[in-house]
Chains A and B, each alone.
Chain A
Amino acid sequence: DSGVTQTPKHLITATGQRVTLRCSPRSGDLSVYWYQQSLDQGLQFLIQYYNGEERAKGNILERFSAQQFPDLHSELNLSSLELGDSALYFCASSPDFGGSTDTQYFGPGTRLTVL
């Protein structure tokens, strides 16, 4: 158990809908990262927050957005969902600002299925 929690574990929805994925980092960790894992693209970095502020952005679609709240939990919002958005979404956390040497601790993931 990494100490990172993600809810829900599974989510099934229809095209065009909007969903919110939630992540609670390990106690004391200030950085949160979101990754998407799909069969064709593999594991891709989406976005990182540090202490409430966006710190780095990867291949995140404009239909997706995220935020980190004062209690440090984070939410990833996916809107206008398409079939291709079906994937496993991981949240990870690290203690500090997310330097390139930091170990990231991953949650169990949320499996999103878009029908």
Chain B
Amino acid sequence: AQSVTQLDSQVPVFEEAPVELRCNYSSSVSVYLFWYVQYPNQGLQLLLKYLSGSTLVESINGFEAEFNKSQTSFHLRKPSVHISDTAEYFCAVNGRGSQGNLIFGKGTKLSVKP
């Protein structure tokens, strides 16, 4: 079985500041890792995912996440945030060889202030 812990429920930050949203996972098997974003009053959208290969994965809008197997982490970072990044971010895991249902963390609300 897998589980995901997002350590911060809310992260307030000023515009153009860097941000890190933390995610740790637990699993007895190898995993695939995902970050989804939920903008206000919308469904979830995939931001990026780690399947294999390079441990650093990037999204098209400047976010990146690094898979760290020894620390069982998949933290999401952005060097300079915009007001439009205000949303809730969910880390999710799926065990290799398991069914497709995702195990989500509780989410982190990122609030970017001007």
Residues of B within 8 A of A45 (CB): 101-103
Contact call B43/A104, Cβ cutoff below 8 A: no
Contact call B101/A42, Cβ cutoff below 8 A: no
Residues of A within 8 A of B45 (CB): 2, 106
Contact call B32/A98, Cβ cutoff below 8 A: no
Query: Which one, A2, A31, A104, contacts B102 given CB within 8 A?
Result: A104
* Chain A CB within 10 Å, residue with most, of B90, B100, B103, B105: B100
Seen from chain B, the residues whose Cβ lies within 8 Å of a Cβ on chain A are 32, 36, 41-46, 49, 51, 90, 94-107
| Given A42-B104, A100-B94, A90 contacting B43 (CB threshold 8 A) | yes
Further 13 A-B residue pairs, CB within 8 A, beyond A55-B100, A56-B100 = A2-B45, A33-B101, A42-B105, A43-B104, A90-B44, A98-B99, A98-B100, A100-B95, A100-B96, A106-B43, A108-B41, A108-B42, A108-B43
| Given A42-B107, A43-B104, A90-B43, A48 contacting B51 (CB threshold 8 A) | no
Residues of A within 8 A of B46 (CB): 103-105
Contact call A42/B106, Cβ cutoff below 8 A: yes
CA separation between A55 and B105, bound complex, in Å?
23
Contact call B100/A33, Cβ cutoff below 8 A: yes
Residues of A within 8 A of B102 (CB): 45, 104
Query: Which one, B51, B90, B100, contacts A94 given CB within 8 A?
Result: B100
